[in-house]
């Protein structure tokens, strides 16, 4: 199904980066609002069980959503690449 695995590996790498960023947020960000340091955006992060409230800065949110966008874009690329290859294989038969 996948002759060239670049798109799949890129998608897995982006998902790994997103997961590592989630672990960074879970382990290093405060659980209470700290307006002096800019941690004012409340979000839930689920790691190792139940979700916990974590307060993020604007930079954290920008990084988080950028990684989400990268992962989604690479997933679409991998899907499009696999469908394109299957259509090409059917035409060659």
In a domain, 1, yes or no: no
Q: Give the range of the structural domain holding residue 15, as residue numbers without chain letter.
A: 6-86
In a domain, 11, yes or no: yes
In a domain, 93, yes or no: no
Q: What is the pLDDT along the chain (93 residues), one digit of tens a residue?
A: 556 788 889 999 999 999 999 999 999 999 999 999 999 999 999 988 889 999 999 999 999 999 999 999 999 998 888 887 666 666 776
Cβ distance 14 to 70 under 8 Å? yes
In a domain, 71, yes or no: yes
Count of the separate structural domains present in the chain: 1
Distance CA 40, CA 56 (A): 6
In a domain, 91, yes or no: no
Distance CA 45, CA 30 (A): 12
In a domain, 32, yes or no: yes
Distance CA 90, CA 93 (A): 5
State CA 63 to chain mean position distance: 10
Q: What is the pLDDT of residue 31?
A: 96
């Amino acid at each position: 199904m996948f002759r060239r695995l670049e798109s799949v590996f890129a998608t897995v790498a982006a998902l790994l980066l997103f997961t590592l960023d989630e672990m960074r947020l879970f382990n290093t960000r405060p659980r209470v609002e700290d307006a002096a340091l800019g941690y004012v955006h409340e979000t839930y992060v689920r790691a190792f069980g139940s979700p916990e409230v974590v307060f993020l800065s604007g930079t954290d949110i920008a990084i988080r959503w950028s990684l989400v966008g990268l992962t989604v874009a690479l997933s679409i690329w991998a899907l499009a690449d696999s469908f394109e290859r299957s259509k090409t294989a059917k035409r060659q038969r």
